Chains A and B, each alone.
Chain A
Amino acid sequence: MSEQFSRRDFLKLAGLGAATTAILTGCGPASRYVKREPYQQMPEYNSVGQSTYYATTCRECAAGCGLVVRTYQGRAIKTEGNASHPLNLGKTCARGQATLQGLYNPDRVTDPNKTGSAMEWDAAIQVVADALKKYKPDEIAFLMGMAPDHLFDLVTDMANATGMNAPIRFGALGMFEARATLSKAAETLFGQAGLPFFDVGGAQVVLSFGANFLETWLSPIPYTRGFTGLREAKTKLRGKFVQFEARMSATGGKADEWVPLRPGTEALVALAIGQIAAEIRGGAMPKAFSSVDLLDVASKSGVKLEALEHLGELVATTNGVLAIPGGPALGQSNGLAVAEAVLALNAFAENIGKPGGVYLSALAPNQTEANRPASAKEMQEFVEKMASGAFKVLFVHGVNPVFELPKSIDFKSAMGSVEQVISFATFPDETSAEADYIFPDHHGLESWGYQRVATGTAQPVLSGAQPVVSPFYNTRATADVLIAAAQLAGGKFAEALPYKDEVEFLQTKVSSLMSESDGSFTAPDAFTFMAYFQQYGGWWKNTDARLSSGTSGILNANISAEEAQFAGEGEFFFVPFVSPTLAEAGANKPWLQELPDPTTTVMWNTWVEINPETAHELGLHNDDMVKVISEVGEVQAYVYLYPAIRPDTIAMPFGQGHTAYGRYAENRGANPANLLGGHFNEAGDLAFAGMRVKIEKISSAVSGVGLSRMESRMGVYGEALGEEH
């Protein structure tokens, strides 16, 4: 499908919509008043009454799953996983399913505009071209979403050729996944930066230190598939799964053993388990494990010595132990030490580069080195530069930093110091509300592109994207805008992007893969290659390209056995976690809002999880409104008495609390990012779980007001059922 077809070519949808909604039963045919409009010219891909399926890539998170979208008469009807895509093998998560609610969302940006007043695309391109011309290259900055996609390549090309600042990629998911820490720890293990790949499916025992890999961690679908392998593989016994975390996540809920350790002691516990295991196995005690004192660990972490010994024995005596660091365990002041300590357990279990063990993720086909998104610290530096006036023009695409960044990194006011902020948002979010111009990009299902798959599969994958429907609104691909503006700006810009349009750029990039061996398909010429690329939903190698040779040096490294430092005052450790159903950009989709959270079954709102015992002591009840106060800010949310959280910990989901972002997201819930201070770990990741907070009761629960839950409080918690017999 190309964009030459105008919207007119498609059935006018309003009429059909009315037809489908108008059901007056028992009164004869209700659709009597419907009008139908024929195609001006029947598109070749369309056949009357038949659905057409397009392979593309899911843009709801940065994982890069392949989708097959069912379209019917120009409308996208349903997304399914692309069964041949090596990353997700035909499966999708809830966010992938709901992507259509973004496409047909009633609150999208419909036209290019300058602070609300619509403008023409020609003028818009002129604005971009002027900005490129007017300012020095090093005064131009690009901030982009986390996905390593074709637009990132295009801007990188532009930056390389013109001396413009290299584009920065950021996403809250990456922040909460602590990708920089993982990458750094992987460097210690493999001698090479990149995302580690944990083969959960092949393991026999999985020890997860805070990794929420069944929710939205790095690449949710392959890890869920891995979990199925852990539990169901035909060739081995049902695998065991132990989770270490202060607050039971949806992942922890599936664990056979859930170890609620004191936040900040993950490294100690990992090292202690290593020490016990090494003792049981005999031989020399690895240096990494030798520094901890077991009794000390037991008292600090709150995990009983017997429990540690039992776990150590498990590690020592079982084949196929896999330890995974992640989530809040890494988002602490000693996050890197945690990662190293946990990876050391893997080294001790000798599973590096073995099935059921740890690999370094394969690089994507047209990639030479791992390129991780910016850490929070790098973002802080970026924002400081913005605030200092170093950037005169800022382009924002695919990210909503005003919402996603912690409160201590004040992106919003820094935007004021940038002369011109141009947003390419498809959706009116908090950042675009502050921007000078919004030049809306197509929705992911309306746009061309490709995306590198960073992790999750053994094969190098370049996932392909193509429009499955023609653009619904007067939007334009950002790549096209940039190419056109670069031509208009001339000079180095025009030279850097010598393309007619986005498609030509893609073709150039993708056809460079033709010469690669072991590809999933071959083609005689670039056009055919490109066509196959669209048809299969990408190109991938058929070989396992994961790095599997690790240096076992990590066992002899000095791993700090300190507890994490906690910022701020207050009686509670604070664990913010990403809502598995909403993540950072799902709040605008009504059906994602209406999906119950896997752990609490809450819909449409934000809650504060408190241990029932603690709540009882504080006189708090379900649905009481409380204020959570950290050193930098405070937010209000309803109390949820959560039976699986440490009494000294409270937790809040991230994903709600938007002040813009459409009718379904606006003024709903609270944003825990507003509590987060600017503390980082050694790798530069935000110590988001390294804070202490206070809570204050604002008001008591009122009947009929409170959290919308799928679960029954009576049936699940026995509330209001009276005393037991």
Chain B
Amino acid sequence: MSDNKHHADAAQSHEEHLREKHLMLDPLPRGRMNEMVMESMMEKPTWKFWLVFGFLAFVVVYFLFYQWGVLIVKGQGEAGVMRPDYWGIFLVNTVFWIGISHAGTFISAILRVFKAEFRRPFTRAAELMTTFGLVQAGFSIFMHMGRVWVFYWLLPYPNQRMLWPNLHSPLTWDLLAITTYLLSSTMYLFLPLIPDVAMARDRSTGWRKNIYKVLALGFRGTEGEWTHLRAAMNIFAFAISPVMFSVHTIVSWDFAAATRPGWSSTIFGPYFIVGALHSGMGAAVVVLAVIRGTMKHMDYFVRGEHFDAIGKLMLIISMAWAYFFFNDYMVQWYGGDKWTQQLLHFHEAGPLGWMWFAMLFTNIVLPWAILWNPKWRANPWLVGFVGIAINVGMWFERYIIIPISVTINRMPFTWRMYTPGIEVPMGIGTVALFILLYMAASKLIPLIPVWEVQEGQMAHELKKFGRETVVSVSELE
């Protein structure tokens, strides 16, 4: 009997443990969850929030917009670009931000397609990263243009000059792909937001109500509305994934299509995609850790299990990245081309060789060393730290691929080291704008898709198989 009781107690505590650990097994009434999300959003910002917000606003205004004005008036000479480094940090940042933006789509589209349930509470947070990251990428690419005021020449529109954009140019493909991606990821952010905004509409007053009213578009939650929404989200989840892959592949073609040592590599497409996911997942955990640490009630929605799950993904992606990196390196090295040899040697032993090694450390060694352990993996701050390290490493990777690699070309008479100028404050400005947008968003829209969480909680239950209690998920759709 006592044995039985003991078993029962054990089963009881195991169940409790599971419930504690898994958000999906720890349901709260929908109204309570709504309340929590609304509170976290409408909580009166502390002076610390305003301090950070004000500081970032200043950084954005001064470092990003004012300096951009300076750049436009005084020319690209304000930046560190020159012969042969015609491309500098602006494009590093472009690739970096596009990379960051990949995480959102990956989490909310691919994980949705594969019904990975742990995605539910943070699809919104990840999607926001996509959109805000793409804004920074767009800014960075326009900063790079010598005559940004004629950017519209790149768009296909009938004109008296009878000129159309050059479809031979990878940059034109890039423009098409990034536009497609920015538009579709913004739409994909907005669609699942509608029910949550409707919820916020129902629970708010004053100016907020007006905003949410407009944003909710009159959504009530009728069967028809849900059906259309679900159908659309299904289409998006399947269709936006290839768009995401195409974007970074095309970005990689900007480099791979060029006649340059170190760049003409057929593996750049997948290599860039994996790199993008690497930095994107890294950024996602940082964002989650910060949200969990700073916002009210978020420890309910974002839990160790989520860090554990993303941690596993990060580990796998890190391995994939290592594989692609080595693959690229191996073939470049084996090719034995004089200039490629010089370039590889320059990467490792040149003045910025430390960056090459730091990249390998933060992108491979550190994730592997930390993320293998489930306990460590569940620690938000530790995983967040790895995320930051990976992002630094991935920024280094792009820095190595762009300004460091273009230093070495087939005309040794022109080789020259790149020293960044105005790019640095402007790059910091994009980071600040990203955080600023995120901070504003966290106060304006529900960061947790409550209806998705509730849907998940409805689907999850504990089921007994003999003496074992396991988690079981029903397919509601």
Contact = CB atoms under 8 A, between A and B. Distances in A.
Direct contact of A and B (CB under 8 A): yes
Interface of A: 25-26, 704, 710-712, 714-716, 720-723, 725
B412 A723 contact: no
Interface stretch (B64-72, B136-144, B346-354): B346-354
Contact of B412 (A26, A712, A720, A722): A712
Given A25-B150, A721-B342, A715 B349 contact: no
A725 B419 CA distance: 26
Contacts of B349: 721-723
Contact of B348 (A714, A715, A716, A722): A722
Contacts of A720: 350-351, 417
Contacts of B341: 725
Interface string B405-449: 001000111111101000000000000000000000000000000
B351 to A, nearest CB: 5
A276 B351 CA distance: 53
A102 B419 CA distance: 35
Given A704-B419, A714-B407, A722-B346, 11 more contacts: A25-B147, A26-B150, A712-B413, A712-B414, A714-B415, A714-B417, A715-B411, A715-B415, A720-B417, A722-B345, A722-B353
B150 A721 contact: no
A721 B414 contact: no
Q: Is the interface of B mostly helix, strand, loop or mixed?
A: helix
Contacts of B414: 712, 715
A714 B84 CA distance: 12
A712 B345 contact: no
Interface string B392-414: 00000000000000010001111
A696 B350 CA distance: 31
A721 B416 CA distance: 11
8 contacts: A714-B412, A714-B415, A714-B416, A714-B417, A715-B415, A722-B346, A722-B349, A723-B349
A715 B419 contact: no
A704 B342 CA distance: 24
Nearest to A725: B345
B302 to A, nearest CB: 45
Contacts of B346: 721-722
Contacts, number: 41
A263 to B, nearest CB: 31
Nearest to A712: B415
B154 to A, nearest CB: 13
Contacts of B350: 720-722
Nearest to B412: A715
Contacts of B411: 715
A443 B414 CA distance: 37
Interface string B307-335: 00000000000000000000000000000
Given A704-B419, A721-B350, A722-B346, A711 B150 contact: no
Contacts of A704: 419
B207 to A, nearest CB: 41
Closest 3 interchain pairs by CB? A722-B349, A715-B412, A715-B415
B417 A721 contact: no
A715 B353 CA distance: 17
B262 to A, nearest CB: 14
B353 A711 contact: no
Contacts of A714: 407, 412, 415-417
Contact of B416 (A25, A712, A722, A725): A712
A716 B414 CA distance: 9
Contacts of B353: 722
Contact of A715 (B147, B153, B351, B413): B413
Interface string B141-157: 00000010010010000
Contacts of A712: 412-416
Nearest to A714: B415
A26 B416 CA distance: 34
A625 to B, nearest CB: 20
Nearest to A710: B413
Nearest to A720: B351
A316 to B, nearest CB: 41
A221 to B, nearest CB: 26
Given A720-B350, A721-B350, A711 B345 contact: no
